[in-house]
Amino acid sequence: MIPFVLRRLALTLPIVWIVVTLVFSLIHLVPGDPVAQMLGEGTSVTEIERIRHELGLDRPIFEQYRAYMMGLLRGDLGMSFRNQEAVATSILSRYPATIELALGATVFSLMVAIPFGVMSAVRRGKAADRVIGFLSLLGLSLPNFALGPMMILLFSIALGLLPVSGRGGLSSLILPAVTLGGALAAITTRMVRASMLEEIQRDYVRTARAKGLKESVVVFKHALRNGLIPVITILGLQMGALLAGAIITETIFSWPGLGRLTIQAIYARDYPLVQGCLLVIALSYILINLVSDVLYSVVDPRIRYD
C-alpha cells in the first residue's frame, strides 16, 4: 500500500505544476489592474507605479512566474495584495469552514442516497422506484444558485426555522450543506441503485437467501458492501465538484470559507491569493481521489495494490 501511495503522490507533481502554471497564466490575462483597484480612483500615476514596483508587477511575466515557483518550492504562497497578509494565513483561516461545509454536504448526500438507492433497487419498477427516480432527476436539474435562494425563502424567511447566512453552529450549516449536497445526493442515489441492481442478481446473494438469512442482512451486509466500489469512485470525483460548487454556495449563504475568499480575491485582482486558493482546491481534489483509491481495498479486501 505504501509504495502505491508514494507512486500516486509522485504522479501528482506534474499535475500540480500544470495547474499552477495555468492558474498563473489565466489570472494575469484577466483585464484590470490590481494596483489601481486596490488604491481606488484619483490615485496619481506616480503612486500607482511605485506600488507596482514594490509588488513586483512591473517585472516581465516570466520573471514573476519564476519568482512565484521558487516561492512555492520554499512553501511560500506570497503576500496578499489586498490586506498584506500571508496567503497561507488567509487560506488556513478559511479552509476549515470549507471542509466543514463539504463534509456536511457529503454526509447529507450519503444519508439520502444509500437508503433511497437501496429502496429503489429492491422495489424496482414500483411506485417507490418511480418517485425516487423523479426526485433524483429533480435534484440533478436544480443548480446551486437556484436551490440556495429557494431554501432561504422557504426555511429562513417563510418558516423562520433556520438562519439566512453566516457560520454559527449546526443550524447555520443545514441549508448550505443541503444546497451543496443536493446534486451529489441525486447522482449517488442513481449510482447506488444501479450498483445494487447488479449485485442482487449475483449468485452469492441467492445463496445467502437460500441459507435463510434475513433480507436486511442480505441487502445491507452483503450486496450493499460489494456495491460500494463504484459509489466510492463517484464520491471521490464529485468531491472536486463540491469544492468548486462551494464557491457559489458560500457566496449565497455568506459562508466564510475558501470559496468565498476566492471570489473576493478575483474581484480584487489579488493574484497571489487567487493562485493560492485554486492551488489548495486542486491539491484537495487530488488528495480526495487518492483517499478514495485507498478505500477500495478497505471495502473490498480482494483489491490489493502491491
State the CATH number of the domain containing residue 281: 1.10.3720.10
| The pLDDT of residue 292 is above 80 | no
Residue 113 corresponds to which amino acid? A
Query: Is residue 304 assigned to a domain?
Result: no
Query: Pick from 73, 102, 125: which residue ends a domain?
Result: 73
Residues 15 and 152 in one domain: no
Query: Is residue 89 assigned to a domain?
Result: no
Tell me the average pLDDT across 58-68.
84
pTM of the model: 0.79
- Sorting pLDDT into bands at 50, 70 and 90, what band is 25? confident
Query: Is residue 127 assigned to a domain?
Result: yes
Q: Which residue has the cell 445467502?
A: 208
Secondary structure (3-state) at 86: strand
Residues 152 and 26 in one domain: no
Residues 32 and 152 in one domain: no
Domain count across the chain: 2
Residues 120 and 222 in one domain: yes
Tell me the average pLDDT across 23-52.
73
Residues 53 and 191 in one domain: no
What pLDDT, on the 0 to 100 scale, is given for residue 301? Answer: 60
H, E, C per residue of 258-297: HHHHHHHHHHCCCHHHHHHHHHHHHHHHHHHHHHHHHHHH
Helix (H) or strand (E) holding 197: helix 170-199
C-alpha to C-alpha distance for 23 and 32, rounded to whole angstroms:
16
- Sorting pLDDT into bands at 50, 70 and 90, what band is 39? low
- Sorting pLDDT into bands at 50, 70 and 90, what band is 1? low
The DSSP result for 156-174, as a single string, is IIIS--S-SSS--SHHHHH
Q: What domain range is 182 assigned to?
A: 94-299
Query: Is residue 26 assigned to a domain?
Result: yes
